[in-house]
Chains A and B, each alone.
Chain A
Amino acid sequence: QVTLRESGPALVKPTQTLKLTCTFSGFSLNTFGMSVNWFRQPPGKALEWLAHIDWEDEKFYSASLKTRLSVSKDTSENQVILTLTNVDPVDTGTYYCTRVRAVDTDMIVDYWGQGMLVTVSS
């Protein structure tokens, strides 16, 4: 059974660094074709893709957030860590980690975490 769970601070002050951890089970990030992607959803807005890390440790980031985002993995702990520097109130939203799996030639988001609401406020 595949599960993912986001954890981290619920409240962060402007200019601080946000660090979120995705702890997963039921799959390995060492397996060919597996990756973890992060999304976020500001209140009342659509989901926004943030970052990707895969079994080969390839990383991709949202173009608009590239200078502030980083993602890493700890395969022994089955964790992926997302870091967002210099946060602003516009970074407020629900953050989701997801599993992405290769199906034929497609990369499908097939499992999601419950999401974690992060508020940026002084």
Chain B
Amino acid sequence: EIVLTQSPGTLSLSPGERATLSCRASQSVTSRSLAWYQHKPGRAPRLLIYGASIRATGIPDRFSGSGSGTDFTLTISRLEPEDFAVYFCQQYDKSPRTSGLGTKVEIK
């Protein structure tokens, strides 16, 4: 199965700063079949990006996804207070769907 490795494990930033999160796959994810989710404690995860770069409905344009093959990136251009959360990637190219362990974006 495809193993997804996310880095860094924790990102300490201030509101207004730019966040860059990485998701690396153990083998190529074809058709850019990768999604990003935001997860806050006690809440349901929220779909942010699918198809590596397509924003889901209602997601602000400060969130952007890029990458292909084995290297994918989620960028938050200017952190808002509500953006501090855990972000995880998930590939749906090959069965079974697999997810990364997540990157926690915390307030510095």
Interface residues of A (CB under 8 A from B): 4, 37, 39, 45-47, 49, 60, 62-63, 96, 103, 105-115
User: A49 to B98, alpha carbons, bound, how many Å?
Assistant: 7
**Majority secondary structure, A binding face:** strand
State whether the Cβ of B19 lies closer than 8 Å to any Cβ in chain A: no
B37-45, B60-68, B70-78 - interface stretch = B37-45
- How many B residues are at the interface, by size bracket? 20 to 34
The CA-CA distance from A63 to B96 in the complex, in Å, is 9
Chain B residues with CB below 8 A from A37, complex form: 97
Question: What are 13 A-B pairs with beta-carbon distances under 8 A?
Answer: A39-B99, A45-B101, A46-B99, A46-B101, A47-B90, A96-B45, A103-B51, A105-B31, A106-B31, A107-B92, A109-B35, A112-B37, A113-B44
Complex alpha-carbon distance, A4 and B95, angstroms: 23
CB within 8 A of A108: which of B31, B88, B92?
B92
Report A-chain residues with C-beta under 8 Å of the C-beta of B102: 46
